[in-house]
Every structure is written in structure tokens, then in C-alpha cells.
Structure 1
Amino acid sequence: MDLIDGVKIKRLRVIPDERGRLMEMLRCDDDLFIKFGQAYITTAYPGVVKGWHYHKKQTDNFVVVKGMMKVVLYDSREDSPTKGAINEFFMGEHNPILLQIPPYVFHGFKCISETEAMVVNFPTEPYNYDDPDEFRVHPHDNDIPYDWARKDG
């Protein structure tokens, strides 16, 4: 898959032993580390779509730590060499990756596991309650050429 310009992926290493497991997500000495704004979790119940939105300042760093999510990106940036591109990522317990999403790239996700899925995000900016850096469109009624329905076959 050709990645949208500015999007980066880091494969995460899971270290299991008889006590459990350890998985580092983002380190300050990673090549893709920019800066730390805050850390938070967001969840979705099975079949629920959360999206679409983008940020003007913030870069997101998503890791799905419970369940599975289909995370979808859409590049609507006029000056981008990948304008119009869509990327799908199946992330979570069965595919532990960190997905870095640059500013102005629309993104959303859908829980595709049988139980609630949980995303940890490490954005580069803290959330500004008075002036949120979040610009939304409806998940299904919009100009983004993507259908959230499951694709069999």
C-alpha cells in the first residue's frame, strides 16, 4: 500500500513471558517522535464508526491496545502529492502498530472486533477546550469517497 504523504507506521514489538506481556508504543528517541502534547484513550463499541475529522496543528499517534479497529485516512489536501488517496489500516491486538497521522488528513475508525476496542493516542498538542483543533464532517454523509461497510471478498 502506498501511504498518504506524511503518514508513518511503526511496527510494535510485543515481549511476552509467563507473567504477561510488554509493548512499548512511542519513545522520545523514535525517528517519528515529534513532541508530546498529551495521552488519552478513546473507545468504540462493535460496529460503531467514529469519524471523520482532521486537525490543523496536531499530529496524532494511534495505537489500538484492545480489540481491533479499521482506521481509515483520506487525503483532501490540495497541495499533497497523494491528494484523493485513501489508506485503510487494520490495527489492534492482531496487528500491533503505531499509526502517525499528520495535520489536515481526515481520519476515522470503526470497531471491527466482537468487543469494545480501545485506542491510545499520543497527539503532539494538548486539547484546547476553548478552541479545539478539531474539524468534523458526518461519518457517512460527506464528500469523502469511502464506504464504512464491511467488504467481503
Structure 2
Amino acid sequence: MKVVVTGGHGFLGWHLRVRLRAFTDHTVVAIGRAEWDRLDAELKDADALIHLAGVNRGTDHEVEHGNVRLAQMAGRAVRDSGQLSCVVFANSVHAEADTPYGRGKAQAGILLADSATTCGARFVDVVLPNLFGEHGRPNYNSFVATFAHAVVDEQNPTVQDRQVELLHVQQAAAALIDVLGPEHPEMVRPRGEYTSVGEVLEALRDMHHLYRGGEFPALTTQLEVDLFNTLRAAMFPRAYPMRPASHHDERGRLVECVRAHGGTGQTFVSTTRPGVTRGEHFHLEKVERFLVVRGRALISLRRLFHDEVISFAVSADAPAIVDMPTMWVHNIVNTGDDELVTLFWTHTLHDPLAPDTFAEQVRPELGGPG
């Protein structure tokens, strides 16, 4: 299936492409502002359009009419497409509100539904609550992103406390992908987790305090895992590598590897021959720790759909911890002359039916690490 995604380089668009890469073999074309003139041509042989492009910042006129204008342009391309079978719209719960953003989203949905009907395509309205997750832009995508960056920078953001429904952006992406199948209603409303703005800030502060002190917070609920991964994304790469507590006496050395507050976890120890690479994959939500306990290694990471590779040279001579951020491809290479011994820890028990591990190379242009 060929899927065209407008707004494909934005917050939700990036997460949607990550999930499509992980779970499907669809051909995915991301259309952003720079590629908008390609939309008509890309839809000519596409199976589905997922319309994410929108405007949520600006004057009232820019927000309301910007969303309508994008839907009008996408609608024209849909009507001219010829063979498109499905149009999916990332709508918002705010479409029910009499605000510039709400009115713009509501009108955009009507325009896209009319265009889909005209060309004989199914239309699915996916109504999303407040989204949050890794790599959201502070002061733009989500108050959670704003708080995460503020906590990392040791700032005290102003809180206007209220109840809020939060949905992790990967779950929003899952809903958008699920409706590509034929057996779905015309409207889908994924449900998030109800919490408060103040509780989110308090949770992020507590997590950051423990984590910077060398300890994992309790990760006993999905919301806790998602908030922690959002926080870790805001910390990466500045906070790494971390230096674990190390104790020496005449017998040798003891290094603290993992201190975790509740939940489950699993520890692995691997040996790696000189020059050999492990990894070359990414995770969607797994918290994973690398600690070299013998030998030397190079740990390299690349955020999906980005080119920059970030590397950490680590050695058992000066124990260092690197925790893998979610949705970053990573590997570890034995750069020494002797056997490498590495401790790996994950916050969940390994499930062979759902391992949350997806193959991808850190340096695909080289066929792997150089």
C-alpha cells in the first residue's frame, strides 16, 4: 500500500512514519510545506491519504483559515487522484469548541469528507485528544514537552491547573494506521488517560530527580512509561553518558548498574568479539540501558528519519551508562582488542511475541557501522 502523509515531518507525522516503518511494509511519502507541490502527483498512484497538516499557532484568522486552506488544497488533490481508496483525517476533540482552531478543524473535516465522497474513497475522521510524547517541541506541540524541557533546564514553569485527557502520540499513530483497513467506522475516537496539568509537572520533576541521581522511577503504568520516555528524549544527548556509583577497595571494584523503584525489569549480560557489532534496531517504548563492564566500545545512535549519528566511546576503565532513547536506532561495537562484556537492562520482561525490537541500521549508507 502507498500512503501519503501531509504534515509528515511534524510531531504526529514523524511518530506516524516511525510506526508505519515498525509494523508495516507500506510505501510512505511524507508531504511537508517544502513538498506540497508534489501532492497531486504522489496521490495519482496512492492508496490512502492521511491528512495531518494543520495550523495551531498564529492569529485567530491564520489558525482558522489556515486549517481550512490546507484541507481545500488536500481535497482538490483527492478529487483529482483517480484511484484513492481511503482518506483519513487527524481531527481534534477541540473541533467541537467555538474557537478559531475548533472551527478550522471542523470545517476541514467537512471539506475532506466531501472530497472523499466525490472520488468514491472511504473517509475516516480520527478525533484525537491532547497528544504528547518524545521530541515534541516545547511551547508548541504540548504542555508536556514544555514541562519536560523546563524540568531538564531546572526552570519553574507557570501552571494553570486543570483536568486533561492525554494520549501518547504513538497510540494516536496506531489509531490512524488501524483505520486504513476496510472494516472501520467513519469516526474513531481514541481514549487517553485523564490526569491534571499539575500532576504531570510533579511526575516529571520526581522522575528527573531520581533519574539524575542514578535511579529509575517506578514505571508501573503506561502513562508513567510514556512520561519518562518523553523526559528522556528532552535529556538526550546532553545528559549522557551517566557515571554510575563506583566503590573501590583492596578486593577490587563494585559498580552500581541499576537502581529501580518498583515495576519489572530484566538484566542481560553479553560477550562480543573484537570488531563485532550488536544492536542495529530501535524500540518504540522500551527503556534500555547499556553498561560496559569489560573492554572498550563505541555506542552509536541515530534518530529515525534523521542523518546525524551521535556516538559515545565507553570503557570499563571508567564505567559509563548510556540509556537508549525510544525511536532511535542504536548499536554497540567492540572497539578493543579483547572480548567485550556488556550489561543490558530493560524495564520489561522479554516477550518473544511482542519484543518491541525493530531492525534498522544506524548507518544505512554504509550497510552498518563503519
**TM value normalised by structure 1:** 0.75
Deviations 1:74-126 (A, max 9, x none): 1126xxxxx54321111121331111112111000110111110111111221
Of structures 1 and 2, the larger Rg is shown by 2
**Residue in structure 2 matching 1:39, options 267, 274, 283:** 267
Q: Deviations over 1:20-67 (max 9, x none)?
A: 1111122136xxxx9542111122100112231001120111111111
User: What is the root-mean-square deviation in Å for CA atoms of aligned residues?
Assistant: 2.7
Question: Partners in 1 of 2:326 and 2:243 — Cα distance?
Answer: 21
> 1:1-153 counterparts in 2 under 5 A?
5-7=234-236, 8-9=239-240, 10-28=242-260, 36-76=264-304, 83-137=306-360, 142-143=364-365, 148-149=369-370
Q: Measured at CA, do residues 74 and 5 of structure 1 come closer, stay the same or move farther in structure 2, by a change above 3 Å? A: farther
Give the Cα separation in 1 of the matches to 2:367 and 2:319: 24
Shift of 1:70: 0.5
Tell me if structure 1 keeps the 8 A contact 2:301–2:362.
no
Inter-partner Cα distance in structure 2 for 1:132 and 1:147? 22
Q: Choose between structure 1 and 2 for higher RCO, CA contacts under 8 A separated by at least 6 residues.
A: 1
Distance 1:92 1:75, change over 3 A: same
* Contact 2:309 2:362 (8 Å CA) reproduced: no
Q: Distance in 2 between matches of 1:38 and 1:74?
A: 25
Letter of the 1:134 counterpart: T
Matched-pair contact (CA < 8 Å) for 2:297–2:336? yes
Residue 80 (structure 1) aligns with: none
Classify 1:147/1:95 alpha carbon distance in 2 versus 1 (closer, same or farther; 3 Å). Answer: farther
Quickly say closer, same or farther: Cα 1:110–1:101, change in 2 above 3 A: same
- C-alpha contact 2:330 2:362 (8 A) present in aligned 1: no
TM-score by length of 2: 0.33
Task: Looking at secondary structure, tell me which structure has more strand per residue.
Answer: 1
**Runs of 4 or more above 4 Å deviation:** none
Structure 2 unmatched ranges of 5 or more: 1-232
Identity of counterpart residues, as a percentage?
23
Which ranges of structure 1 fall in alignment gaps of 5 or more residues?
A: 78-82
Alpha-carbon distance in 1 for matches of 2:263, 2:246:
24
